[in-house]
Structure 1
Amino acid sequence: MSLCIAVLAWATPIAAQHHQHHAHPSQDTRASIELRDNTGVGVLTVRVGPLKMPPRTEHMSPPLTPIRVPFDAWYVAYEPRLVDKDGNPRPGHLLHHVELLNLNRRNFLCPLQPERMFAAGSELSDWPRLPGVGYRVTQEQRIIVAVMFHNPTDEEVSNAYLEVHIHYVLPGTSRLTNIYPAWFLVTHCGATIYDLPPGLHVKGSELVVPHSGKLLGVGGHIHDYGRQLRLENTTRKEHIATLDISLREDGRLRSIPVVVFPSPGGYRIGADDAIKATAVYDNPTGRPLPKAAMGIVVGYFVPDHDEELAALTRDPTSLWRR
């Protein structure tokens, strides 16, 4: 059975939020965030839309509107999709990026920020389920859906929706080990997006992991013309993972691989180990591209002492810098 839990309407048309080369009249359509629970299969769906975007819309972001977690659960897998009003697929290039942030939790690598739960870009990569683990949420926690769209085509886009399907497990049905998303940004703890100069460009940054534990696997997030993401332990001078990006012939992003480390050990990280993430781009356009690059390696982290990370809460009403 599918139940609509919440519908949050935005006070302004989503099309009025865009930034573009040329002005276009705003649309009349009102957009919303809808939260729907399919209890039969254990899937929550976050649905954003409908979207209307004029041709050549550069960036369009709806307001940051929190949704409330409807019940205690572990979130175990994520599936992002762009669809029309009937559920048929739409091209992924309309999505710049989407992030889910838990406002009640602190990011254990960047403590001034909320905990990022999930993110995706135009590649629309699924986050698969890993056996025996899950991301713990509790009822009434506040989740921000931070999303940016763009329309690089010469055609208007209408009646498009972003859906994120979240697979969950209820506490009474199973006991899972808690995982904590570890976000290794090439911009350290600063803004995730940065300008991309022409030609080959390499950017990296180190983050110190204050807790010992293990990484179960890593994926990543990068934009068009991205060639590679790398993760290394500079304290121990060890290579952790290399993600070679699959691009289309025009340099646009096709897919990003996922690396799962051998179980049960995973990749061990010691307390205060410095972990470096690096993003490699090759911009063939011959010109700088403002706000065009991101570089993030994301891993599922299982701490040796769960109580240390479980204690990292924050006031969900407090502000933070993106």
Structure 2
Amino acid sequence: MKGSGARLRNPKPWGILGLLVPLVSVTVLIAPAQGQHDAHMMGRAAAAKLDAKDDPAAHVLTVRLGPLHLPAHAGMAVEQAPGLTLTVPFEGWITAYHPRLTDGAGRALPNRLLHHVAFYNTGRPDFLCPAKPEHIFGAGGEMNDWPATPGFGYRVHQGERILISTMFHNETETSHPDTYLEVRIEYQPLVPGGAGLKNVYPTWFDVKNCGRSGYDLTPGENVTTGRFSLGYSGALIGVGGHLHDYGRQLRLVDTARKQDIAKLDAKLDPRGRIVSVPVVRFTDRGGYHLNKGDVVQVTAIYDNPTGKLLPEGAMGIVVGYFLPDDDRQMAALRKNHASARK
């Protein structure tokens, strides 16, 4: 990582941790991401629902969304689940998530059937994009597994509502009539008098800034860049990313130091389809520190070999986990947002 030592401090055994919220009550809502691909979709899937099974002794909640029927060669023209919202049933922290796709019997299905899933905490603003709800978790066909990091977690409060937006597609030769998205969530409940965790916040550096994430992919090379000015000082614990098919690289740049924070080179199959996007951990460096007012630039590079325009065919997002220098400022942001909604 080019020149990163100038901005790293306090070496500690940190890694990336997953951000996903344990939920129980279910309600249908309109999802913020809905409409980005509506021209390519069929109607909503009335049979799709969300179930949650909690294991309090193990501190694990398993969330399952489906079933969805995904015909062969249907692309985006498949039924989609409605937006669903769930209510957080306890006080505590989310520490990890483990997503996968299965059939009705629990057998694994190809990850690439998932176009994307997004979780939004509707009661809190995104600290990079305050006009939007806090985007706390997302995954696509690259669907990485994120382990827990001791001492850190995403704080949740009982009664908070989380909106879940999903989109599926099937470009394969096989029909999947009974498809489910399953996420196993690890959490630590708040114990009165017990030791808590340090609060981390999801940080979504989107090349489309605070607008719609999806954009058209023109033939050949596509380079798209966004910029964010940080409102808080703190450290990025690590970063991963989200790209679509033909995505080559995500790059995150610290413009104040004119150096790379991370370069994420995507793994593609021989046809250019996304397989995975790597995770960069600042595990032995104490995190990558950024100051209030620093400008972070994010760039996505695609190479579209099809010779045609692919409408809404691209996204480019670097996902970071941010540990603020002063968590009281972030708590004030939550309080101010709640007051504004009254």
Say yes or no: TM over 0.5: yes
- Per-residue CA deviation, residues 65-120 of structure 1 (Å, 9 max, x unaligned), is 21000111100111111001121101112100001111111100000011111110
Query: Structure 1 pair 97/22, CA: closer, same or farther in 2 (3 Å)?
Result: closer
Residue 50 (1) aligns with residue 34 (2): no
Tell me the equivalent position of 1:280. 301
RMSD: 2.5
Residue 72 (1) aligns with residue 91 (2): yes
Query: Structure 1 pair 288/5, CA: closer, same or farther in 2 (3 Å)?
Result: closer
How far, CA to CA, are the matches of 1:5 and 1:259 in structure 2?
A: 29
Residue 210 (1) aligns with residue 231 (2): yes
Tell me the equivalent position of 2:4. none
Residue 248 (1) aligns with residue 248 (2): no
| 1:285 CA displacement | 0.8
Tell me which amino acid in the other structure corresponds to 2:155: R
Tell me the equivalent position of 1:14. none
Partner of 2:112, secondary structure, is helix
Considering Cα pairs closer than 8 Å and 6+ residues apart, tell me whether 1 or 2 has the greater RCO.
2
Tell me the equivalent position of 2:178. 159
Unaligned runs of 5+ in 1: 12-16
- TM norm structure 1: 0.88
Partner of 1:184, secondary structure, is strand
Tell me which amino acid in the other structure corresponds to 1:239: D
- TM norm structure 2: 0.83
How far, CA to CA, are the matches of 1:299 and 1:114 in structure 2?
A: 17
Tell me which amino acid in the other structure corresponds to 1:76: T
Question: Percent of pairs identical after alignment?
Answer: 46
How far, CA to CA, are the matches of 1:289 and 1:77 in structure 2?
A: 34
Unaligned runs of 5+ in 2: 1-21, 30-34
How far, CA to CA, are the matches of 2:223 and 2:45 in structure 1?
A: 43
| 1:303 CA displacement | 0.5
- How many residues are aligned here? 308
Which consecutive segments of 4 or more residues in structure 1 shift more than 6 A?
20-23, 26-29
Tell me the equivalent position of 2:105. 86
Which of residues 124, 131, 134 is equivalent to 2:153?
A: 134
1:147-296 matches, within 5 Å, as: 147-172=166-191, 174-263=195-284, 265-296=286-317
1:24-39 matches, within 5 Å, as: 30-39=47-56
| 1:152 CA displacement | 1.5
Which of residues 110, 118, 123 is equivalent to 1:99?
A: 118
| 1:36 CA displacement | 1.6
Q: Is the 8 A contact 1:96 1:150 kept in 2?
A: yes
Query: Structure 1 pair 215/6, CA: closer, same or farther in 2 (3 Å)?
Result: closer
How far, CA to CA, are the matches of 1:144 and 1:165 in structure 2?
A: 17
Partner of 2:89, secondary structure, is coil
